Amino acid sequence: MTEASRQFDFEGRIARDEKIEPNDWMPSRYRRQLVRMISQHAHSEVVGMLPEGNWITRAPSLRRKISLLAKVQDEAGHGLYLYGAAETLGAEREDLINRLLGGDARYSSIFNYPSVTWGDVGVIGWLVDQAAMVNQTMLTKCSYGPYARAMIQICKEENFHKRQGMEIMAVLSAGTSAQRAMAQDALDRWWWPTLMMFGPPDEESPHSSELIGWKVKMKSNDELRQWFVDLAVPQAEALDLQIPDPELVRDSKTGHWISGPINWDEFRSILEGEGPCNRERIESRRESHFGGAWVREAARAYEEKCRKKKALERESL
């Protein structure tokens, strides 16, 4: 088959909503786009452990500590699923991680903000994980099989993350005035960065149209952002918390909640590494990566020992 006929065949499969699998032919650009997106997603999951991990030793009760531990542990697992999905495209996990540690790889902008009170843990679960779910629910229909399938398991766990966050916010917002103030302060600080999670506005997104054409993304950044806002505004009302957007208004015709302008300069500064926690996050990742090198060496040594033992057993047969 010529390259052109392979391309034609590939486009036909995408049009028929067939899943592309690791051993199938795919355009090199499709492969590169998926490695970019999936590796960033994996990095986001692992870096995303840091703001919440910061509160595990300070959780207000054993029950809160257990659920936060479980959530943070889930995020590590999501990172492993996604590094595994990137490897099915021929990417080397070590290369991907070294690019992150070298400051040459992106992860979600949202994790460059500090988690300063327990209210932040609640709002991260309630808003950030719900935003991730909106995005990941779309990705369960992605044309690349391993990515779509990883999303199905991840979304189930994200639902627990969202609910534990909402419960924290419900308790705080129904609590003392200090607890209510803590919940509102956390919402004030995390609302706009959560809207930025969905990426730049559609007209400034260089990748969206190609990714939508290949059914990697099924919706645009702005469509997902709108879906999230329509979910979160009534929830904030139910929590008796104020969304920090004086221009937020409901469109009576469409029923959508229309947000005020997003500070894209802030978003761009985060992407340029100038956010409140960019340096701290990469430093923490470097510290845990190099501090944990002995675990990887021990695992490799054990793997080598088992391999040699099996080889000797095969020779003795």
Residue pair 277/119 in contact by the 8 Å Cβ criterion: no
Nearer to ligand 3HC, 64 or 162 (CB): 162
Residue 162 is a binding residue for ligand 3HC (CB under 6 A): no
Residues sharing a CB contact under 8 Å with residue 224, sequence separation 6 or more, in sequence order: 134, 135, 138, 198
Q: Which residue of 6, 31, 36, 180 would you call a contact of ligand 3HC, by CB under 6 A? A: 36
Taking CB under 6 A as the binding criterion, the range among 44-52, 84-92, 236-244, 296-304 that sits at the site for ligand 3HC is 44-52
Shortest CB 55 distance to ligand 3HC, Å: 15
Choice between 88 and 221, CB closer to ligand 3HC? 221
Q: Which of residues 120-139 bind ligand 3HC (CB under 6 A)?
A: 128-129, 132, 135
User: In angstroms, what is the minimal distance from the CB of 24 to ligand 3HC?
Assistant: 21
CA distances from 57 to 53, 69, 115, 201 (A): 8, 10, 14, 38
Using CB under 6 A as the criterion, what x/- string covers residues 214-233 for binding ligand 3HC? -------x------------
Tell me the closest approach of the beta carbon of residue 198 to ligand 3HC, in angstroms: 6
Contact 45, 4 (CB under 8 A): no
| H-only helix segments in 23-141 | 28-47, 49-53, 62-87, 93-101, 118-123, 129-139
Give the one residue of 51, 165, 199, 275 binding ligand 3HC; rule: CB under 6 A: 199
DSSP letter (8 states) at residue 247:
T
What is the size of the binding site for ligand 3HC (CB under 6 A)? Answer: 28
Nearest to 48 by CA among 72, 82, 77: 72
Query: Residue length, the chain?
Result: 317
The residue among 111, 76, 82 whose CA lies nearest residue 292 is 76
Binding of ligand 3HC by 198 (CB under 6 A)? yes
Residues in Cβ contact with 195 at an 8 Å cutoff, skipping those fewer than 6 apart: 225, 228, 229, 259, 262
Using CB under 6 A, which residues numbered 51 to 110 contact ligand 3HC? 75, 78, 106, 108-109
Cα 169 from Cα 174, distance rounded (Å): 8
Residue 95 or 306 having the CB closest to ligand 3HC: 95
Binding ligand 3HC (rule: CB under 6 A), the pick from 86, 169, 197, 232 is 197
271 binds ligand 3HC (CB under 6 A): yes
Residue 18 CA to residue 292 CA, distance in Å, equals: 41
Strand partners, 144: 20
Question: Whole-number minimum distance, CB 28 to ligand 3HC, in Å?
Answer: 16
Q: How far is the CB of 129 from ligand 3HC (least distance, A)?
A: 5
C-beta of 40 vs 226, nearer to ligand 3HC: 40
Shortest distance in whole angstroms from residue 89 CB to ligand 3HC: 14
Q: Does residue number 205 form part of the binding site for ligand 3HC (CB under 6 A)?
A: yes
Measured from the CB atom, the residue of 31 and 207 that comes closer to ligand 3HC is 207
Nearest by Cα to 277 from 48, 40, 42:
48
**Which element (helix H / strand E) includes 258?**
strand 257-258
Interface residues with ligand 3HC (CB under 6 A) are 36-37, 40-41, 44-45, 48, 75, 78, 106, 108-109, 128-129, 132, 135, 196-200, 205-208, 211, 221, 271
